[in-house]
Amino acid sequence: MTGKKGAKKLKIVLFTGYACNNNCVFCIDADKRALPQKSTAELLRETVRARNRGAYILEIIGGESTIRPDFNRVVAAAKKLGVPQVSCATNGRVFADPAAAKKIVASGIDSIIFSVHGPNARVHDALTRAPGSFAQLKRGLENLRALGFTRIGGNTTVVKRNMAALPALARFYLKHGINNVEYIFVDPTYGGAKNNFGKLVPRISEAAPYMRAALALGRAAGMDQWKARYVPLCHFGDCLGQISETNERKLFLTEHWAPDFRNTDAIGSRAAVSRQKTARCRGCKLYGACEGIWAEYLKVYGDRELKRMK
Ligand code: SF4
């Protein structure tokens, strides 16, 4: 196995299905909960296929993949096949149970990305609509530390309700020593944020200062892998080295294997279909590097906030 496709590494995002024990208000999968879950046999077949395609990273996601009884089996199968990096994105609740945390670590998983949407239960649980979910993810982080598992990342979906809390959330990540964090400007293309756009989606000019403040706190603490995702670059001029898309375009080819679709160029199709630059971008010095902003965003707020960079 090469682990590479050309000069870039191949990352396969394996969706197990859309069932979840949280009910996040902005979830992109909000309208897909009832779709059938993949079977264990299907997932095991896909781990073989991923290895054969030369996947360097296999990221297992849901919904919430850790609530499946076969989660550890799928991780262990991928590791046994020799996939170099197996990770999962999770709401973190299952790790509150020390025995479950121990079994997942023993499966051989390489890294775990916690979705944290606020610095406290008030903000986080209001967004997940799952009372107790923040306390559980916090216990989960502590349990993983106690097991000596340190390859933990974080991701935060930025919406109106939590944007002012991002600096406090940055301090939460710092306290837990999380070196790999993404602050993700909410995607209104489908699901919860599309259905409740006005309530959830902030203007980029209002969200960006909080996102940059969070990134600055990370930089000051030596966190070199804290990034912003899905943002127009003109609002991030002082942290252009901390943009997820710029980084991932250089390093990865990404495929999405979901129950209801397969996308063999998730990075390229996002830039070509879901995000847009406008006439205001003409002549911008960052035009080539920038993906613009969500097309759905432009339909509602227009492009007045985009600022050609000279
Ligand atoms: S003006 Fe357009 S191309 Fe330039 S940084 Fe802003 S969104 Fe990107």
Q: Is the CB of 165 under 6 A from ligand 1?
A: no
Which residues partner with 87 through β-bridges? 59, 111
* Ligand 1 contact, 234 CB (< 6 A): yes
Residue entry with tokens 């993983």: 144
Look at phi and psi of residue 174 and say left if phi exceeds 0, alpha if psi is from -120 to 50, else beta.
alpha
- Taking the CB of residue 7, how many other CB atoms lie within 10 A of it? 8
Convert the pLDDT of each residue in 243-255 to its tens digit: 999 888 888 999 9
Ligand 1 within 6 A of 284 CB? yes
Q: Is the CB of 243 under 6 A from ligand 1?
A: no
DSSP letter (8 states) at residue 60: E
Rg (CA), the chain: 19
Atom of ligand 1 nearest to the CA of 278: 2
Angle, alpha carbons 236-119-147 (nearest 5°): 110
pLDDT the model gives residue 269: 81
Distance, CA 307 to ligand 1 centroid (Å)? Answer: 6
Residue whose entry in the numeric block shows the structure tokens 């394996």:
14
pLDDT for residue 250: 87
The domain spans of the chain are 4-301
Residue whose token pair is 């799928």: 74
Which residues in the chain come in under a pLDDT of 70? Answer: 1-6
Residues 89-106 have pLDDT tens digits of 999 999 999 999 999 999
CA of 203 to the centre of ligand 1 (A): 15
Q: Ligand 1 pocket check: which of 281, 282, 285, 304 to mutate, most ligand atoms within 8 Å of Cβ?
A: 281
pTM of structure: 0.95
Q: For the domain 4-301, what is the CATH code?
A: 3.20.20.70
* Burial of residue 181 (number of CB atoms within 10 Å: 0-12, 13-18, 19+): buried
pLDDT at 2: 42
